[in-house]
Amino acid sequence: MDELHLIELAAKACGVHIERRGDVVSIAGDKGRAWDPLNCDNDAMELAEKLRIELVDQDWPTYVEVRTARGGVVRQFMLHEAPDVPKAYRRAIVRAAADIGKQM
């Protein structure tokens, strides 16, 4: 699954209406404000808050784990895939949200 598809599914899960223009995703009706929880800490934290996704460090620094109250999704993300810790957290949040979006 490519990054844009992950973002679209995450948006679906949290009820964010988005517009996609090429490789850019923006919030519909918000004057084209970009929405990119894979690369923006604020967007990722907003997504985690809306979906009640909890970040849990397990076996640090091997992987991060996220849990969510909706559906009990547990997602692990290996840090060797993204050695940048904030990036790993954002990716784990978006992947968990995309899992929720798939189930909708």
29-40 pLDDT tens trace: 766 678 899 999
Rounded Cα distance, 78 and 69, in Å: 22
Question: What's the confidence (pLDDT) of residue 92?
Answer: 85
Name the residue ranges covered by the structural domains of the chain. Answer: 3-103
Q: Which residues of the chain have pLDDT under 70?
A: 30-32, 57-61, 70-83
Query: How many residues are recorded in the chain?
Result: 104
Question: What's the confidence (pLDDT) of residue 64?
Answer: 73
| The two structure tokens encoding residue 73 | 């999704």
Question: What's the confidence (pLDDT) of residue 60?
Answer: 61
Q: Among the CATH numbers 3.40.630, 3.40.1000, 3.30.200, 3.30.2120, which is that of 3-103?
A: 3.30.2120
Question: What's the confidence (pLDDT) of residue 18?
Answer: 86
Residue 84 phi/psi, 5° resolution?
Answer: -75, 110
Cβ-contact 7, 34 below 8 angstroms: no
